[in-house]
Chain A
């Protein structure tokens, strides 16, 4: 889907570099956070999640950090590859099942 806005913040990196994408959330009561990746023409795809009782969680090549004091979330991608080029969204869970998405960051990886 044509999902991305013309004014999305953009992070440009070289292949092999580490990438850090940041997100500020609004609700201090949120207890669950998710990062999604959206490639052009596709729906968002789950990457990794974290609960508020943790401050760090690692996956394959990805790490999510949560700082509840300043309501900040970050996604770190190690050894970034061209296939990582996409728009990345953070989302916070509101209530039982409702997700509230951030505006997104476009990651561009140059070979």
Chain B
């Protein structure tokens, strides 16, 4: 079992650029979550999907952020345009029904 896979592991970009983070959940899991972790705000849920459908996006900070899940094995989180305050570690997690969430290794995003 490969676990949750995220790419890239590190991303450095300049302000104003588009950033796309990718996630492959554990096969068979029906929930997918995107989290952001910063020193100031800790670990925050941005959005989660159930069976590829967005259920709760109330944590998405603003319209610059968007997330998609075109199929059960792939999701993206896009930031356009990126800003320095978006610098954080972004985690993807997946779960089977209401069971425990398994987290990926994270993507460390730095926006200069």
**A98 is an interface residue with CB less than 8 A from chain B:** yes
Chain A residue nearest in CB terms to B89: A1
Main SS class of interface, A: loop
A1-B89, A43-B91 are known contacts. Are A99 and B45 too (CB-CB below 8 A)?
Answer: yes
A6–B31 alpha-carbon span in the complex (Å): 32
Task: Determine how close the nearest CB of chain B comes to the CB of A56; give it in whole angstroms.
Answer: 19
**A77 is an interface residue with CB less than 8 A from chain B:** no
**A97 is an interface residue with CB less than 8 A from chain B:** yes
Number of interface residues of A (CB under 8 A): 25
Task: Determine how close the nearest CB of chain A comes to the CB of B13; give it in whole angstroms.
Answer: 17
Stretch at the interface among B14-22, B68-76, B78-86, B102-110: B102-110
Q: In the complex, how many residue pairs between chain A and chain B have their CB atoms under 8 Å apart?
A: 60
Number of interface residues of B (CB under 8 A): 28
Stretch at the interface among A9-17, A44-52, A58-66: A44-52
A45 engages B103 (CB within 8 Å): yes
A46 engages B101 (CB within 8 Å): yes
Task: Determine how close the nearest CB of chain B comes to the CB of A45; give it in whole angstroms.
Answer: 7
A95–B31 alpha-carbon span in the complex (Å): 14
**B93 is an interface residue with CB less than 8 A from chain A:** yes
CB-CB under 8 A from A1, the residues of chain B are 37, 89, 91, 105-108
Chain A contact residues, CB within 8 Å of chain B: 1-6, 34, 41-46, 49, 89, 95-104
Top-6 shortest CB links A-B: A43-B103, A1-B89, A1-B106, A5-B39, A101-B43, A46-B100
Chain B contact residues, CB within 8 Å of chain A: 4, 31, 33, 37, 39-40, 42-45, 48, 50, 55-56, 89, 91, 93, 95, 98, 100-108
